[in-house]
Amino acid sequence: MAGAQLWGDCHTHSSWSDGLFSVEELGRFYESFGQDFRIQTDHLIVAVPDGLPAGKWLHAAQWPDYRSACGRASAGEHICVPGAEVGWEVGSTAAPGEWFHTKLLPAAGEPFADESFFAGLSYVEVLAKAKAAGCRPVVAHIDQGAPLERLSGAEVCGLEVRYDIEETRPLLARPSLKQWDRMLAAGHRVSISSGSDAHQPDLWAGSGLRTVVLDTPREAEAIAAAVAAGRSYLSGTWHPDCYAAAGWPAHPNRLTGGITHFSPWWEFKQYKELQGRSPRALVVEIFEAALRNGRCRRDDYPVLAAFSVCGAGSGQQASAGARCEVHAVWHTHVPACLARIIADGAPVQQLTAGHPALRGMEGVLHETLDLRPIFYSFALDVSASR
């Protein structure tokens, strides 16, 4: 893990579909958060067989223009990687409820599938066809009802866990990750990545769990390939509610049921009359508050400086077994309170507050363990250090 790390968000929306800002504007916002890249995943709606539904969507015929716009939005340090989020639940020939949002991370220059690509196929068949065509399917926000039990893991490149100011359920407690374990244990190489699913560039984007890709050139296709292959790790931190600080009314959170001040773009519209400003101006106000005190800059996130299992790094296959060495080095902005090595979905080793490795802002963990050759991850928790 000695090479450069690129930090990014793998699920974002712009005005090409239902997002509030253009791809060029988003580049400036994301760069301010210290994000090297974002994968632009505007909603692509397939028109089979009933025509395009009402609303603003990306559709297949627009793909070349959209890809060019993403390229032009990469003029600065921040790279906009063209991708799409396919919503097959509208207009498809499949049974209602069978379809689920899937991100496609197509290779640069490759023609994007048109609507006929999807006609008459089941969800699982479409995923397999898209993967065979090089479109790199990644199942989006897997904790929101994705039918993972229907997938073997062979049909997809990856799974996405969503974590942002709205979707804050603890990552390691989510049952969907067991399905990831099952796919890996069956021998399928399925990566895990994260996205904010932000439709607005304020703390919705700034609070997202970052996907950090390793040893990757600052170039769109290389980044998409690294995400799909899992040459990466995830980094997250906690966030004060900048919406509450700005005085937005509290209301029930649609995902967790709790009370929140977070306001997605479709709710900002109601403030237009109340405060005499446009939704976009209000979002910019929250964005500036997030930069001041939102803990959303690069320095607020833990950095994994080294990680290996039996000498294999992230995205590499480890020949694990008896007496396997697990090595991790990290830097944090506050001391970590918990470090775990997880195999097959359960902690096999755990360091808690007071352990020498967790005392400072720099940590080193070196353990020799008996591990089965399936799935390993490493988790740090800084949440008790707020």
What residues line the site for Zn ion (CB under 5 A)?
Answer: 85, 101, 140, 197
Give the shortest CB-267-to-Zn ion separation in angstroms: 17
Give the shortest CB-195-to-Zn ion separation in angstroms: 8
| Closer of 106 and 315 to Zn ion (Cβ) | 106
Give the shortest CB-103-to-Zn ion separation in angstroms: 8
| Separation CA 386–CA 381 (nearest Å) | 11
Give the shortest CB-112-to-Zn ion separation in angstroms: 17
Question: Using an 8 Å Cβ cutoff, are 151 and 127 in contact?
Answer: yes
| Closer of 167 and 197 to Zn ion (Cβ) | 197
| Closer of 21 and 307 to Zn ion (Cβ) | 21
| Closer of 85 and 181 to Zn ion (Cβ) | 85
| Closer of 197 and 202 to Zn ion (Cβ) | 197
Residue with smallest beta-carbon separation from Zn ion:
101
| Closer of 9 and 85 to Zn ion (Cβ) | 85
What backbone torsions phi and psi does residue 325 show, to the nearest 5 degrees?
A: -90, 125
Give the shortest CB-125-to-Zn ion separation in angstroms: 20
Give the shortest CB-87-to-Zn ion separation in angstroms: 7
| Closer of 100 and 330 to Zn ion (Cβ) | 100
| Separation CA 326–CA 342 (nearest Å) | 11
| Closer of 43 and 67 to Zn ion (Cβ) | 43
CA distances from 128 to 137, 153, 186, 196 (A): 8, 10, 17, 25
Give the shortest CB-11-to-Zn ion separation in angstroms: 6
Give the shortest CB-123-to-Zn ion separation in angstroms: 14
